[in-house]
Amino acid sequence: MQSGNPTYSLIVPTFGRTDEVTEFLDSLTHSRFKNFEVIVADGTPGKSLEEAVSPFCEMLSIQFLYRDCLPVSDARNWGAKQAKSNWFIFLDSDCIIPSDYLTHVDEFLQNSQVDAFGGPDSALDTFTPIQKAISYAMTSFFTTGGIRGNKKHIGTFHPRGFNMGISKQAFETVKGYDTSFLCGEDIDLSIRVLKAGFRSALIPNAFVYHKRRTNFKKFFKQVTRFGAARINLYVRHREELSVLHLFPLVFSLYLLLGSSLFLASSLLGFIWFGSIAFYTLLILVDASIQNKNILIGLLSVRASFTQLLGYGWGFLRNAIEVFIKGNKKGIKL
């Protein structure tokens, strides 16, 4: 463990994920860059996680914070208040951190004038086929996941909470995470940081292995919340809604209503069927090649459709709630 103040404070909120936190901390013991601290902000009832964290205190500089049922944004804000460094890195507890992650971060920050940064996510070979398929759906060029990691220029990249770095100065200037946001709070923070005049960037090599959800039911529920959160973000940041954010809703309506085209015209029906078949084939081939496994390719088709339909459904439900029913708080997330 380092002496003096650490260069980076890694802040991870968690709730009932003992196995994941153990894997997360174990991966950090292999870090090539050593001058960092870890702040685990836990809300698991009964302090069951503390025993799992304790063995790592001999190998890592760890602060363990606990409050029963601690919400995620409160956990991150609390962790930032306790941090000893001038750089906060927020990570999800279901991430595994490569040994060279902090090395890439440090090299980039030594040569770039930015106040916030983010990195991509990827899948390990040891992940289950479903986890690999979900990872594909969340990062692919052929889904909305493709917009997450394609802005490599410095200035306007929006870091996400699973892999987000921010300077202490920027974080304190915008007063940290807004605890009124139950989903999309990381994007809200990124937007407010940029609006305050700070600069951000994507560090392509600073990726993490992100486990995400373990089955399609949980994944659908998660992306439904993401879609609904986009409406809440629009209410606060009108300029941040783009055509790309509408794609899941348009695709969902096209998929669900397109079959009726056969009743209007056989030609239109076949065009609809052909376009869906072509899109499905693109995902199948691309995912199979990337993973070198046709089973994962097939699962990736399901994951991609789940992502688009779930996001589109959440987006539509919350749009109706906010703009038609007049409930500015939106649906319960």
SS (H, E, C) 259-328: HHHHHHCHHHHHHHHHHHHHHHHHHHHHHHHHHCCHHHHHHHHHHHHHHHHHHHHHHHHHHHHHHHCCCC
- How high is the pLDDT of residue 147? 47
- How high is the pLDDT of residue 211? 87
Tokens of 261: 């085209």
- How high is the pLDDT of residue 2? 52
| 175 CB neighbour count, 10 Å cutoff | 10
- How high is the pLDDT of residue 136? 94
- How high is the pLDDT of residue 189? 97
Distance of alpha carbon 168 from alpha carbon 166, whole angstroms: 7
Tokens of 70: 């601690």
Query: Could you tell me the CA-to-CA distances from 86 to 12, 80, 100, 162 in Å, in that order?
Result: 16, 10, 20, 19
Distance of alpha carbon 333 from alpha carbon 326, whole angstroms: 17
Helical ranges in the chain per DSSP H: 18-28, 48-53, 72-82, 101-111, 129-139, 168-173, 185-195, 216-236, 243-257, 261-264, 266-291, 294-319
Beta strand pairing call for 200-202 and 116-118: parallel
Q: Any bridge partners for residue 11, and if so which?
A: 39, 90
Tokens of 329: 């708080």
Question: Any idea what DSSP says for residue 166?
Answer: E
- How high is the pLDDT of residue 318? 96
Q: Could you tell me if 108 and 191 are in contact, meaning their C-beta atoms sit under 8 angstroms apart?
A: no
Question: Any idea what DSSP says for residue 158?
Answer: -
CATH number of the 8-123+149-213 domain: 3.90.550.10
Name the residue ranges covered by the structural domains of the chain: 8-123+149-213, 221-324
Beta strand pairing call for 62-66 and 200-202: unpaired
- C-alpha angle with apex 302: 299 to 305, nearest 5 degrees? 150
Q: Could you tell me if 207 and 121 are in contact, meaning their C-beta atoms sit under 8 angstroms apart?
A: yes
pLDDT tens for residues 111-142? 999 999 999 998 999 999 999 999 999 999 89
Q: Could you tell me if 194 and 157 are in contact, meaning their C-beta atoms sit under 8 angstroms apart?
A: no
Nearest to 323 by CA among 223, 220, 225, 238: 238
| Residues of the chain with confidence (pLDDT) below 50 | 1, 147, 149-151, 153
Torsion of CA 234, 235, 236, 242, to 10 degrees: 20
pTM: 0.91
Distance of alpha carbon 198 from alpha carbon 168, whole angstroms: 12
